[in-house]
């Protein structure tokens, strides 16, 4: 299926205050909707597929914290140390919208990932070698970051990397864009 890729002009951090008021699924959809709304062109004829992934560390007491893109090696190591031996979630919100009709289809995909316990030296070595500073959680599962994990629960492993392709195909079938 031919497509083009665009980067919407959306300040994701401006939405951070909503994280505490919305569920993880709602928050991921809020970000994906904002991206879609930023790209819609009046009189346009395109279908837009917009998505966002939110990393979430949930505590036993029900509290939760958003996992950000660390940005610096030190913050990356600190975030990895916080995840060591713990389970976190990656939640993807997807929005498919027609510019012509305004028709929208939405979905959420969630993965639960458990990291094995590891030490600071291993985390620092991984960060130095692979520099995952722009990744929520501070790792990439598609490189040697996979070695940091003990268990992954997912209906669609592509959602860990970013865009869950099974969910995307489902939305495209709902819209009649992809044949059943």
Distance CA 80, CA 95 (A): 30
Q: Concatenated DSSP letters for 84-114?
A: TT-EEEEEEEEEEEETTT--EEEEEEEEEEE
pTM of the model: 0.92
pLDDT at 61: 87
pLDDT at residue 71, rounded to an integer: 95
The pLDDT, as a whole number, for residue 179 is 87
Query: Residues, the chain, total?
Result: 180
Residue 59 tokens, joined: 């505590």
Q: What is the three-class DSSP state of 77?
A: helix
Per run of 10 residues, the mean pLDDT along the chain (length 180 residues) is: 91 94 97 97 95 92 90 97 96 97 97 97 98 93 95 94 94 93
Which pLDDT score is estimated for 96?
98
How high is the pLDDT of residue 22?
96
Catalytic residues: 52
pLDDT recorded at residue 97: 98
Structure tokens given for 42: 């009046």
Domains along the sequence of the chain with CATH: 12-174 (3.90.950.10)
């Amino acid at each position: 299926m031919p497509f083009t890729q665009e980067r919407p002009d959306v300040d994701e951090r401006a939405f951070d205050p909503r994280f505490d008021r919305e569920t993880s699924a709602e928050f991921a959809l809020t970000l994906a909707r904002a991206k879609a709304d930023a790209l819609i062109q009046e009189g346009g004829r395109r279908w837009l597929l917009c998505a966002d992934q939110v990393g979430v560390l949930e505590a036993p007491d029900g509290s939760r914290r958003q996992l950000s893109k660390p940005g610096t090696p030190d913050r990356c190591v600190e975030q990895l140390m916080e995840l060591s031996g713990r389970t976190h979630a990656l939640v993807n919100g997807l929005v498919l919208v027609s510019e012509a009709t305004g028709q929208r289809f939405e979905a959420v995909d969630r993965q639960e990932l458990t990291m094995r316990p590891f030490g600071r030296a291993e985390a620092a070595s991984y960060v130095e070698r692979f520099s995952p500073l722009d990744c929520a959680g501070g790792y990439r599962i598609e490189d040697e970051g996979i070695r940091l994990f003990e268990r992954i629960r997912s209906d669609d492993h592509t959602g860990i990397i970013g865009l869950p392709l099974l969910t995307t195909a489902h939305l495209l079938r709902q819209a009649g864009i992809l044949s059943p």
